[in-house]
């Protein structure tokens, strides 16, 4: 069973204008993550633009990265879809390709009720046989998981973890405490939202689901290992050094910034899937100047 703790690094999924995954560029993006020893790779998450790809391209991306990882690093794969049967199919594809677990968001057009989301998750885990991490991402799904719903889902066999957006420092400890009180022992509680994740980790969050980790894995691993070893001062120093990146993420969105960084680093020249536009020349210049002032690996 996958143990979702530590750093889960989320790379972009480079593709052409027709939505065909650039396998070579994807390998180039994932290779440094594996070399850095990240605890898991989060493929086809929101940073990986999972809703924008066909079933065939998603399957090709998963097969590529699972083959590249060769069993050394667990691969967590986004399997969200509007329809339950499509999510089941995507989860089956991911499992057949060798993914360790699926990351399932309650993607919706019509607003969903708690009971509908519960049935959606139960059906996907039961019919696919793939371990599932709950993906709480209300900024895109417009669905907010209540502690009661998380408590119910955490007791479903095969649902093993929760990825939550990290609240700010004043709220994260209370948020985590509420969750810890309702889930069983061994159920992993982790956070995304890079600029708030240090405080989430220091409060006891077990996993950092990281956008920046998908492009600068060594820096992010150093931060996580500092927390795990109890070196809070070093963890805070590292996080403070990343504030210019966090400002860029907040100003332009982490997705657009990471595509610009990947281009500036020469890892890939892909643009985000349309209708998302790449950064303007002025914004990209700001990213370049920020990177030049930092020492990130």
Catalytic residues: 135, 163
Backbone CA torsion sign across 52, 96, 101, 41: negative
Within 13 Å and on the Cβ side, how many CA atoms surround 102?
32
Tell me how far the alpha carbon of residue 190 is from its chain's centroid: 10
d(CA 130, CA 90) in angstroms, rounded, equals: 10
**215-218 own/partner pairs: CB under 8 Å, 24+ apart:** 215/11, 215/29, 215/258, 215/261, 215/262, 215/265, 215/267, 216/296, 216/297, 217/7, 217/9, 217/32, 217/33, 217/35, 217/36, 217/38, 218/32, 218/36, 218/297
Cross-strand bridge partners of residue 210: 9
Cross-strand bridge partners of residue 132: 102, 159
Two tokens, residue 134: 């709950």
Backbone angles phi, psi at 135, to 5 degrees: -110, 100
Two tokens, residue 31: 């290779």
d(CA 233, CA 239) in angstroms, rounded, equals: 10
* Residue 40 DSSP class: E
d(CA 65, CA 44) in angstroms, rounded, equals: 11
Backbone angles phi, psi at 290, to 5 degrees: -65, -45
Cross-strand bridge partners of residue 162: 134, 189
């Amino acid at each position: 069973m996958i143990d979702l703790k530590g750093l889960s690094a989320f790379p972009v999924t480079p593709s052409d204008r027709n939505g065909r995954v650039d396998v070579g560029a994807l390998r180039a993006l994932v290779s440094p993550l594996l070399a850095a020893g990240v605890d898991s790779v989060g493929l086809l998450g929101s940073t990986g633009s999972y809703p924008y790809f066909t079933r065939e391209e998603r399957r090709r991306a998963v097969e590529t990265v699972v083959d590249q990882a060769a069993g050394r690093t667990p691969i967590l794969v986004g399997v969200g879809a509007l329809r339950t049967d499509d999510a089941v199919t995507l989860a089956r594809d991911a499992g057949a390709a060798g993914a360790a677990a699926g990351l399932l968001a309650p993607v919706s057009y019509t607003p969903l009720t708690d009971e509908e989301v519960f049935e959606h998750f139960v059906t996907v885990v039961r019919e696919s046989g793939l371990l599932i991490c709950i993906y709480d991402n209300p900024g895109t799904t417009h669905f907010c998981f209540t502690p009661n719903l998380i408590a119910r889902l955490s007791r479903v066999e095969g649902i093993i973890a929760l990825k939550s957006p990290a609240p700010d420092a004043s709220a994260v400890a209370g948020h985590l405490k509420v969750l810890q009180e309702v889930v069983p022992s061994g159920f992993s509680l982790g956070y995304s939202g890079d600029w708030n994740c240090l405080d989430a980790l220091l409060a006891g969050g077990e996993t950092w689901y990281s956008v920046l980790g998908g492009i600068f894995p060594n820096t992010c691993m150093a931060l996580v290992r500092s927390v795990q070893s109890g070196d809070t001062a070093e963890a805070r120093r590292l996080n403070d050094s990343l504030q210019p990146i966090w400002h860029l993420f907040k100003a332009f969105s982490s997705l657009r910034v990471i595509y610009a960084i990947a281009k500036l680093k020469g890892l890939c020249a892909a643009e985000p899937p349309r209708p998302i536009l790449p950064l303007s020349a002025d914004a990209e210049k700001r990213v370049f100047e920020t990177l030049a002032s930092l020492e990130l690996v």
